[in-house]
Amino acid sequence: MRCVNLSMNNTQKKVAFMTLGCKVNTYDSEAMMEIFEGAGYVIVDFNQLADVYVINTCTVTHLGDQKSRKMMRKAKRMNPDAVICAVGCYVQVAPEEVEKIAEVDLMIGTKNRGDILTYIDTHLQDAQQRDFVSDIMDEKIFEPLMISEVKGKTRAFIKIQEGCNQFCTYCIVPFARGPVRSRKQEQIIDEINRVVAMGYQEVIISGIHIASYGVDQSETAQNKTDLIGLLEALDQIDGLKRTRLGSLEPKYITPDRLKRLAALESFCPHFHLSLQSGSDSVLKRMGRRYSTAEYLTIVDEIRAVFPLAAITTDIMVGFPGETEAEFNETLAFAKAVGFYQIHVFKYSRRAGTKAAAFKDQVEETIKNRRSHQLSELSRELEEAFLKKNDGLVVEVLFEATHDEAGYEGHTKNYVPVFLKTDEKINGRIIKVRVSYSNRYSDKLIGESIY
């Protein structure tokens, strides 16, 4: 039995966070940080000595599971007397696995994270491991986990919904996050008003499946809205210069919605349309609800309204049964679309999903080769898109200083730009002419236009 120091010096309490996985997890961690700060804790780096370690886990791939377990054990090694809190998706879908990790004191999952301090107080009474994971599939209400400030960034991630109802055959996320729950529009507007008042000019609308925002609201509900209605409301916020969308379901995009988006001054023409595969037969096995022809039509409709829109995507390689011919279809389709960037990832077998039981699981060596091929194509497509922006006069939100006495930033369509200057421009939007020919690394060079 390990010895636990049950007394915490109230003036010196420290908490460290390790956040794995997606931007939604990052948002959730920041919201929990505020809870700790409100109770007098100091936030320290994960590699420092702390009284409490919170590991916000990911379970999208088996590597996410492995890293989550590794961080739990690392935290206890750094301070054997610390309270180790395992939170998030991996804990939600595999509480029995996490319970076997002796270093873990508290398990919370993806619900009731706002009660983490109460759970810690309970643990300190007797130092017993406790499981607070509940059935997320019965959850109907958006957990009131929100932020009042953004730490150390130029753009603010704003979470508008939780959960997913899609149940693609490969995906564990609906089981980890539960059904769609939309946040009230007035709460979102209040949060954005706060971050704009702090000087932030761009927000990124995020969630597990943002295209589903509002679908869980009753048709007769007061102030019922959808994603486009929300964006139109945000466009009216004084001081909010840019609104960028997270990942979108392709078929959410329609000509009418594009017309409404084009009327918004703050909207950034950057569409991350999750593809997953460029082969219709693979898409069907995945349980995706569109064909490649439909996807290409949507891309064409976007470019008719936003000619230089950034089209980015996710593509999975090595889905069960994926043949060489099907993979080649994906390569050809990616070229036909002309993506700006492709997030390439290998299929990971997740217990509890339909695809886990599919025959013809693809060997890891084949996945690795296909991942490399697709990544090489992604780099070629990125170069082609950057060239299309050569010579344009654009507005850039500068975000960070650089070693070469300059600043890095992004255009509205998410092209990275480097501007050499001694002037302090962090957080400012500046009009520049961009050049591809003498670019800096993967960034276009900007020349100020005054």
Condensed to tens digits (0 to 9), the pLDDT of residues 212-247 reads: 999 998 766 666 789 999 999 999 999 999 999 999
Taking 60 as the threshold, does the pLDDT of residue 113 lie above it?
A: yes
Q: What is the pLDDT of residue 441?
A: 73
Nearest to 203 by CA among 264, 276, 274: 264
Percentage with pLDDT > 70 across the chain: 94
Map out the domains of the chain as residue ranges. 14-134, 155-387, 393-448
Q: What is the pLDDT of residue 151?
A: 66
Alpha-carbon span 16 to 352, nearest angstrom: 32
CATH (residue range 393-448): 2.40.50
Q: Which residues, including other chains, have CB under 8 Å from residue 126's CB and lie 6 or more apart? A: none
Phi then psi for residue 413, to 5 deg, are -95, 25
Strand runs labelled E in 12-79: 14-19, 42-44, 52-57
Alpha-carbon span 194 to 112, nearest angstrom: 24
| pLDDT, averaged across the chain | 92
Confidence of residue 447 (pLDDT cuts 50, 70, 90): confident
Going by CATH, does the domain composed of 155-387 fall within 3.20.20.220? no
Nearest to 367 by CA among 313, 337, 330: 330
Taking 60 as the threshold, does the pLDDT of residue 10 lie above it?
A: no
Nearest to 272 by CA among 218, 342, 359: 342
pLDDT tens-digit series, residues 324-357: 999 999 999 999 999 999 999 999 999 999 999 9
Alpha-carbon span 8 to 3, nearest angstrom: 14
Considering only residues 53 and 134, tell me which one the structure prediction assigns the higher pLDDT: 53
- ∠ Cα 80 82 83 (to 5°): 125
pLDDT tens-digit series, residues 397-416: 998 776 667 889 999 999 99
Domain spanning 14-134: which superfamily? Methylthiotransferase, N-terminal domain (3.40.50.12160)
pLDDT tens-digit series, residues 55-93: 999 999 988 999 999 999 999 999 999 999 999 999 999
pLDDT tens-digit series, residues 120-157: 999 999 989 999 999 999 888 888 887 877 766 678 99
